[in-house]
Amino acid sequence: MIILALGSALAGQRADDAIIIKQTLSAQLIRQAGVTSLADLLALADDWRLTSVDGFSWQASPNGLSSFTNQSWLVLINGQRIDYGALGTFHLNLLPVSPAVIDSIEILSLPVLYEGQFADKGLIHIYTKRPREGLSVYGSGIVGQKTGEPGPYAFTHYSTTNVDKMGSSGFVALDYGAPGWSSRLHLKLNQYPFTYSVLQQQNKKVIAEWPGLFNLTPTLNIRLDRENHQHELLATGSISQKHFFLYFPPLAREVPTNSTVGHVGLYGRFDLSPRADLKYRLRHGVNRFSKYPNTLNLDLDWGHISSSAGIEWNSQGKLAARQIGAVLERNALQTSYRLDQDQYLLVRLYGRLGWGAQSGRWYTLAAYLTRQAEQTAVKGQLSSRWRIATHQVVRTNLAYSERLPAEDGGWTYWSSLGYNLLADNNIAYYDQATGRTSRLATADIQWRMELGPALALQAGINFRRHTDFQIQQQSFQLLYDDCSLYAPSLVLVTGDGSVAGASVGLVHRAGGKLSQRLHYGFIAAATGDARFTSHWETIPQHSLSYQLSATPLPDLMIWARLSYLTSSNWSTYSKIDSACNSGQLSGAYPASKLNGYTVWDIQFQKHFWRRRLLGALLLKNVTNADMKLHPVGASFDLSFFVRVSLLLVSKSIPR
């Protein structure tokens, strides 16, 4: 189930982490919920608004910390930062884990110092399961079918309809566990056909073949766990070929590309004493997009390389905790464009002090300094946890963060250095935000009350003040010859304003047989100039979700979710509210205002063969509601998925 802000410290974490306002997704919830891919986990994150054009690559707005155009939220796997985001999109489905190997997930939706990172734009931390003792072989396969869309032959001379696969995915893993060490070899496969008709409409002249993704991700994970020191190696590479379509927002179209993503990281800890330890983090990552042949000669020509080394000292006392750390990070871009500078260094220094009292109060003060060339950015937080009554806890978090343009390292930063992708595609680019350091001040308050052993109530409010917030201004036009979009210019500007939000949640648990959860969230621009408030209209203000998990029989599990989201307005696409008639496709183009929707999902799971075999049937959008997440994106109609999982181990399986 979802455990909200309980602050239960995992192995290796400090006691003062218990005051952090966070959301934890347990392995039980992930197993029961209708999760067919890692991107589905985002839908379980409270107060994160989501958008996607194709259902494979996603943008998120984490609780008012950033909008859909600024994807600087972080992803960690077992304490190691993974850089799988690029060009305004985070590719969560390419991460080197599968839902079945996840032990838990922590979601941070406010600025805090966490695992050597200052998460001022949000953070997702994935913990994987430790291999059981002995040898284990297991895997899973998923296939899906969508209704209401033409099949992959509808636009050829075969003209076949209603054979549109949602794609297939699966993994196989080989685990070995022994006293003091363990290893996992994990191979993940993704196939995604991109067969939504709206995508075909926008891109039918770009590529002659029907688009489709073939992605293969092998991963090696080795853990060494000794009495006074622990170490973990994570090495992975993700190769996406067969015309992977990457949606690049400034072009308002999918770009055919071949993608290669790699990561090698080492994370360890030495216990200096029973109350002190020394941690280290080493990481090297590559995120590359190369050209796939297409009629418009589109080429992202992007090869981002990031390496970092960090060291951290921690000391934990009965009523105090101290932390000091440093990180050196190098970023480089490999491209055929002639850059004024193709690499840069970031130096990060940070410290944290936590103290408490017997009265049930705990405080944390953290400071974080980032230096790049002649620029310096300062970040900090002051958090508290106060048990105001036997069954009531209040948590607060005040934070301030400055963010250098180089910290994002996105296409806007590299464009200021000569990455002329927009100019090569006939888009005039005007950068009026060069060198500006954005600033963010936040306040969060959360109250939680246990109403009994099975019922908990939670409420919270938050406020974010953005200064020099980066905004991309474009006005897209409809090209009637092929029903695609074009914006003659892009202006990068800044805006000032504030965002306010509130949430309330109720959790009910009846033993291990039944759990229910209700959550409501609100977020909206409270003040600001015209460009700021208009930009935040793309974020739906109200969200409501209800989840039910039931186990009526020992081997039968039922999960259902009701999701409601209000409308949003995308002024960037206001000029495309018209009809298009070109070739075999005609009709009204998607409107710039997205209507709200209510969606039901339900999943049935059944174990067989002494729990070695698991079968699951998932129905998404059961009522076939009009569910659109982006003005130029697909409509996610009724679809169903079938999953089969198999587990073979060298020892007997406990029931």
Amino acid 215 reads N
User: Does 246 have pLDDT greater than 50?
Assistant: yes
Across the chain, mean pLDDT equals 85
Percent of the chain with pLDDT over 70: 86
**Pick from 456, 545, 524: which is nearest to 5 by CA?**
456
The pLDDT value recorded for residue 318 is 79
Amino acid 53 reads V
The pLDDT value recorded for residue 161 is 40
In angstroms, the CA 210 to CA 149 distance is 14
Q: What is the CA radius of gyration of the chain?
A: 24
Q: Tell which wins on pLDDT, 260 or 271.
A: 271
8 Å CB contact between 2 and 517: yes
Q: Tell which wins on pLDDT, 171 or 159.
A: 171
In angstroms, the CA 240 to CA 627 distance is 28
User: Does 6 have pLDDT greater than 50?
Assistant: no
User: Does 15 have pLDDT greater than 50?
Assistant: no
| 155: confidence class by pLDDT, cuts 50, 70, 90 | very low
Q: pLDDT tens digit string along 295-315?
A: 888 899 999 999 999 999 999
Q: Tell which wins on pLDDT, 142 or 269.
A: 269
The pLDDT value recorded for residue 204 is 66
In the chain, how long is the greatest CA-to-CA distance?
Answer: 77
| 35: confidence class by pLDDT, cuts 50, 70, 90 | confident
The average pLDDT across 478-491 equals 78
**Pick from 284, 286, 367, 354: which is nearest to 84 by CA?**
286
In angstroms, the CA 465 to CA 401 distance is 11
User: Does 5 have pLDDT greater than 50?
Assistant: no
The pLDDT value recorded for residue 526 is 94
3-state class (DSSP) for residue 98: coil
Q: Which residues contact 13 (CB under 8 A, 6 or more apart)?
A: none
User: Does 166 have pLDDT greater than 70?
Assistant: no
Q: Poorest-confidence range of 236-245, 430-439, 516-525? A: 236-245
The pLDDT value recorded for residue 583 is 43
User: Does 140 have pLDDT greater than 80?
Assistant: yes
Q: Tell which wins on pLDDT, 72 or 253.
A: 72
pTM of the model: 0.90
Q: Tell which wins on pLDDT, 536 or 205.
A: 536
The average pLDDT across 393-419 equals 92
**Pick from 99, 67, 112, 150: which is nearest to 523 by CA?**
67
The average pLDDT across 149-169 equals 48
8 Å CB contact between 543 and 564: yes
The pLDDT value recorded for residue 358 is 66
Residue 534 tokens read as 């208009």
Q: pLDDT tens digit string along 541-557?
A: 999 999 999 999 888 99
**Pick from 512, 619, 621, 589: which is nearest to 557 by CA?**
512
Q: pLDDT tens digit string along 273-294?
A: 999 999 999 999 999 988 888 8
Q: pLDDT tens digit string along 442-476?
A: 999 999 999 888 899 999 999 999 999 989 888 88
User: Does 611 have pLDDT greater than 60?
Assistant: yes
The average pLDDT across 358-371 equals 89
SS (H, E, C) 443-504: EEEEEEEEEECCEEEEEEEEEEEEEEEEEEECCCEEECCCCEEECCEEEEEEEEEEEEEEEE
User: Does 1 have pLDDT greater than 80?
Assistant: no
